[in-house]
Amino acid sequence: MLLGELQRTQGDAKGAIQTLERVLQQAPNHMAPAWFLTMAYLDHGRSDQARALLTGMRREFEKNYLWRHAWAILLAVEGNREEALQFMDAETLKFAKLTWSATSTTADFYALQGDRTKAIEWLQLGTARGDECVEYFGRSLRLQSLRDDLRFQSLLASVRARRK
Amino acid sequence: MLIEFGPFRIDKSLGKLSKGGTPIRLGGMPLKILLYLLERPGEAVSRGELKKLLWNDAAYGDFEQGLSSAVNVVRRTLNDSADQPRYIETIPGQGYRLIAPLRSIGPAKHDAVESSGDIRLARTGWRFVDQTWRWGIAGALLLGALGAGGFWKFQSKAQGLVEGSRPSVNQEANDQYNLAMSFLAFQNDIPLARKTFQRAVQLYPQFTSARLQHANMQILEIFTGYSNDESVLYRVEEQVHQLEKELPSTDGLLLGMQFQLSLAQGRLDRISAAKIEDWWRDGGNEGRGPPVFVIISRMLKGQVEEPIAIARKRLVEYPM
């Protein structure tokens, strides 16, 4: 599963999908690989596959915060702003603050929703909690709307400086 | 004996399931249930029979949930549905029935490689599994069960624990511990594993490995979306501090738990990356390569090539 996520953040969405589909085949009732696979599908421009995956798991996992988080991001990608907010509610955000894989990714959600300030706040939280994948942040298509924002550029620069 | 149903083929002697020639991993309780139903096509199999099959009729408190969860794993693996079953039908209030037409296609030919590993699973039931597919599951469990990266043996009779674990003097507590590990590894059922580890702790409160795993499951419940309760972190921190007084600082389970807690707290600076790497390089993880938390700590530092190389190496050594 981690290999799939590494492939995805490296830009190899197709390889990530192959890896994560295999993991999910072996752990079919596990939401974590499904969450990573959703992100890989979205990176690959296959929101239809992401939707099919999450819809198939909805009955069992609708109350699961990872499912709700992934579903909210999918809805945001699809442009369903209001419905997306219903799933990225206060309880899901509480979860996202505690989970290493979800914290920075919540910035994707807000960037897609057009709320750059909140997106940057979530990225700041993610980096403060130890997620220093700034190269990926700079490349991420879902964070594209932040690239010309000085706060975003400054955040990436500060993490790079901290690493040196 | 090879049997086909729908697009699936199963080698009953090896317990190997495949679809269109592609192996599909199914083990533990779910595999036992499927094999049992395949022996009785069209017959109603009661939950009591399955209880006897899986737990030797022992009265484990979480049996009902555990069985339902295991059947769900079989259904998901077969892409089946309880509402519109194609393979396994639920008989309300009674049990289950295999409704798929079966095609027997004769004895299987096994080569040496096939017979080297999983054969133990099929022939001896709960006598588990080397780590060949453990990596996939451990990865799927984020940090995985602490200690589940290795193989363990689980038999119908009480015996030892997962490598790296410290058994208690209470055999019933040890049995609960092993049961919890099976819920975790084969059913990915973290809430059920957490309750079962808790039961082991209740049976023997000094059981350090069970206390560590119980703490671990509480964090994993957050990481896998079952909980968003931040107060869990404070309780777990207290538990870990207590265990730090009781266990050597080089204890692999403890180290993994410290990492897991720090990760949830967003305080990876609290645990020395060098300490983890030293532990691993000094032979921690029983020579099975770096544990998952080494990969995660590097991932979060933005490293890509080296963690990928580590993960690929592990997959070569222990393919999914």
The string of pLDDT tens digits covering residues A103-121 is 999 999 999 999 999 999 9
Query: In sequence order, which residues have a C-beta less than 8 Å from that of residue A115 and are 6 or more positions away?
Result: none
Residues of chain B contacting residue A5, judged by C-beta atoms under 8 Å apart:
299
Instruction: Say how many C-beta atoms besides its own lie within 10 A of residue B47's C-beta.
Output: 17
Domain residue limits at A68 = 2-163
- Between chains, do B268 and A130 touch, taking CB under 8 Å as contact? yes
Phi, psi (rounded to 5 degrees) for B86: -105, -25
Identify the H or E element spanning B277.
helix B273-281
Question: Shortest Cα distance from A124 to chain B (angstroms)?
Answer: 12
Q: Which residue does chain B place closest to A69, by CA atoms?
A: B225
Buried b (16+ CB within 10 A) or exposed e, B133-153: bbbbbbbbbbbbbbbbbbbbb
Question: Residues in chain A, how many?
Answer: 164
Strands (E) in chain A, as ranges, are none
Nearest by CB to B266, which of A61, A91, A128? A128
Cβ neighbours around B248 below 10 Å, total: 7
Per-residue pLDDT, B152: 31
DSSP state of B282: T
Residue A55 has pLDDT above 80, yes or no: yes
> Using a CB-CB distance cutoff of 8 angstroms, which residues of chain B are in contact with residue A65?
225-228
CB contact under 8 A, A65 and B72: no
pLDDT at position B186 is 74
CATH code: domain of residue A49: 1.25.40.10
Query: How far apart are the two ends of chain A, measured CA to CA in Å?
Result: 29
Q: Which residue of B has its CA nearest to A65?
A: B225
Q: What's the length of chain B?
A: 320
pLDDT tens digits for range B163-218: 557 788 888 888 888 888 888 877 778 999 999 999 999 999 999 999 999 999 99
CA A17, CA A11: separation in Å to the nearest integer?
Answer: 11
Helices A2-10 and B292-300 sit at what angle, rounded to 10 degrees?
20
Q: How far apart are CA B71 and CA B82, in angstroms?
A: 10
Torsion of CA B16, B17, B19, B22, to 10 degrees: -40
pLDDT of residue A74: 98
Closest chain A C-alpha to B204 CA, distance in angstroms: 30
Instruction: Please give the Cα distance from B209 to B216 (Å, whole number).
Output: 10
- DSSP code at position B80: -
Q: How far apart are the first and last CA of chain B?
A: 24
What is the reported pTM? 0.71
Mean pLDDT of A23-47: 90
* Positions of chain B with pLDDT under 50: 109-159
**Of A135, A75, A16, A35, whose CA–CA distance to B223 is shortest?**
A35
- In chain A, residues 75-94 whose CB comes closer than 8 Å to chain B: 91-92, 94
Structure tokens at B157: 């009779």
CATH second-level architecture of B2-111? Orthogonal Bundle (1.10)
What is each CA distance from B2 to B5, B29, B106, B111, in whole angstroms? 10, 20, 6, 15
Q: Which of A62, A81, A60, A82 is nearest to A70 (CA)?
A: A62
Name the DSSP class of B284.
G
Number of domains composing chain A: 1
Could you give the CA distance from residue B277 to residue A93 in angstroms, rounded to a whole number?
A: 33
Q: Report which of A2, A99, A100 is spatially closest to residue B308, judged by C-alpha positions.
A: A2
Rounded CA-CA distance B318/A117 in Å is 44
Cα–Cα distance for residue pair B158/B176, rounded to 1 Å: 10
- Cα–Cα distance, B29 to A89 (Å, whole number): 37
Of A23, A27, A67, the CB nearest to B225: A67
Tell if the CB–CB gap between B226 and A64 is shorter than 8 Å: yes
Q: From the list A31, A95, A132, which residue is nearest B222 (CB)?
A: A95
B25 contacts in chain A (CB < 8 Å): 25-26
Q: Angle at CA A30, nearest 5°, toward A35 and A21?
A: 65
